[in-house]
Amino acid sequence: MHCDPRFARVREVFERQFADGEELGAGFAVHLDGELVVDLWDGLADRRTGRAWERDTPAFAYSCTKAITAAVLLRLAEQGLVDVSAPVADVWPEFAAGGKRSVTVAHLLSHQAGLPAIDDRVPVEEFEDHPAIAARLARQEPVWEPGTAHGYHALTYGFLIGEVVRRVSGKSVGDLVAAEIAGPLHLDLWVGAPDDVVARAARLKAADRPAPGTRPATPAAPAGRTPAAAGEGVPDLMAEMARAALDPGSLMNRALGNPGMHLLEGGANNPVILRAGWPAAGVVTTARGLAGFYRALIAGEILRPETLRDATRRRVDGPDRVLFVQSSFGLGFMRPSMMFPMPSATAFGHSGMGGSLGMGDPEHGLGIGYIMNRMSNTATGGLRALNLVQAVYDSLKSL
């Protein structure tokens, strides 16, 4: 393990979370101005076998994938292959069905398309057939008028963006990640893991069930807002979220559960999921690989600086039609909000279900990655990543 003495506070927090029993296995990495200053890992990759978490242990990081998928599409836009402000139907004619002719690529990237859930249950046989799943979405009508509201497209985001990528490039998101991002930059990061990576991936442990009568944790206050301001309306929103979570037919559960990883033995640990490379929830990566992705982003090695600035500009900010709490998005990237509480107003990135996190901060020169295998059941993925990120910023203040 490596930790620059200037960031000793980060190592203390990382070790304390293990000592307090909050972690099973985890990795945390930080780049500062291009230098790897923190590279920590500890614990068990697989509690069943006792396999230790090693420096190169990757883990499935759920929706951390969305930012990577956005970068793939934005690279294609830089090449002139797609216009993010143009209708999706320009490159995917079938998508115009159901009154979606005016839906733009930017609407897809910013969760405004009104397609957060797939109406029909996706069979297991289609889990690796992305075009077939995309075709289901192309036939649907939007739940709300596109562009008038936003709601988290938990899984559909990837099949929608992935089909646009395929239509204009002839390749999958995973293929382009390997050929143009992870490969050239030597990042341990895969959207669709090969068999050797599947074999050494950490095994996720399901979240412990909350005690009877408890409610989801209230998200922390986002950067730039006082706790009081951030908390306005939070009890009502959290009550709505709690009710939706208990309703199998709610938009939230339909968005989060179809295609249903739970239909496979082991859920997200199943090789089918690890290999499938869903562009919304399919990345397998090390903490160092995820942090390296954000280091390269802010260094201009993946996207032009002006492209990244535009992509991280807030497109939507307010109550989320699917998750109820406040969320904020640029083009595929989360911005500080109740759903993505960050210590810095200039941070951007994406969290993943259970607690994983990837983020960058151009003002502070940071690229950060956190992966783990003990899943959290709280609304924001738990405080483990946030505690570590806060320790990074606290360390910067003392420099």
- pLDDT tens across 268-292, in order? 999 999 999 999 999 999 999 999 9
* Sheet of 59-60, strands arranged across: 59-60, 283-285, 189-191
Mean pLDDT of 359-378: 94
What tokens were used for 274?
A: 């690890």
Mean pLDDT of 159-165: 98
Closest CA to 351 of 366, 365, 338: 338
- Cα separation of 164 and 116, whole Å? 17
What residues act catalytically?
Answer: 63
Q: What is the pLDDT of residue 217?
A: 40
Is pLDDT of 44 > 80? yes
* pLDDT interval class at 240 (50, 70, 90): confident
What are the residues whose beta carbons fall under 8 Å from the beta carbon of 222, sequence distance 6 or more? Answer: 230, 326, 328, 336, 337, 338, 340, 341, 342
Is pLDDT of 228 > 60? no
Mean pLDDT of 54-70: 97
Burial class from Cβ neighbours inside 10 Å (0-12, 13-18, 19+) for residue 159 reads: buried
Is pLDDT of 126 > 90? yes
Average pLDDT, rounded, for the chain: 92
Q: What is the pLDDT of residue 231?
A: 46
Report percent pLDDT > 90 for the chain.
Answer: 85
pLDDT tens digits, 241-273 = 778 777 778 899 999 999 999 999 999 999 999
| Spatial contact of 58 and 78, defined as CB atoms under 8 Å apart | no
Is pLDDT of 225 > 60? no
| Spatial contact of 59 and 356, defined as CB atoms under 8 Å apart | yes
Q: What is the pLDDT of residue 378?
A: 61
Rounded to whole angstroms, what are the CA distances from 195 to 183, 199, 201, 266, 293? Answer: 17, 6, 10, 17, 22
Q: What is the pLDDT of residue 236?
A: 73
Rounded to whole angstroms, what are the CA distances from 396 to 4, 57, 102, 364? Answer: 12, 28, 45, 9
| DSSP label at residue 349 | E
Of 87-91, 177-181, 228-232, 312-316, where does mean pLDDT reach its minimum?
228-232
Is pLDDT of 162 > 90? yes
Q: What is the pLDDT of residue 224?
A: 42
Of 41-45, 54-58, 338-342, 377-381, where does mean pLDDT reach its minimum?
377-381
Q: What is the pLDDT of residue 243?
A: 82
Entry pTM: 0.93
Q: What is the pLDDT of residue 49?
A: 96
Closest CA to 369 of 381, 384, 382, 359: 359
What are the residues whose beta carbons fall under 8 Å from the beta carbon of 182, sequence distance 6 or more? Answer: 188, 189, 190, 289
Q: What is the pLDDT of residue 397?
A: 93
Angle among Cα 279, 281, 284 to the nearest 5 degrees reads: 95
Q: What is the pLDDT of residue 226?
A: 36
Angle among Cα 177, 181, 183 to the nearest 5 degrees reads: 90
pLDDT tens digits, 187-200 = 999 999 999 999 99
Is pLDDT of 221 > 80? no
- Cα separation of 314 and 8, whole Å? 34
- Cα separation of 348 and 367, whole Å? 10
Q: What is the pLDDT of residue 247?
A: 77
- Cα separation of 300 and 282, whole Å? 24
Q: What is the pLDDT of residue 23?
A: 96
What tokens were used for 46?
A: 């697989």
Q: What is the pLDDT of residue 233?
A: 54
What tokens were used for 187?
A: 């990042």
- Cα dihedral across residues 361, 302, 369, 2: positive or negative: negative
* pLDDT interval class at 227 (50, 70, 90): very low
| Structural domains of the chain ordered from first start | 51-205+217-385 (3.40.710.10)
How many Cβ atoms from other residues are within 10 Å of residue 235's Cβ? Answer: 11
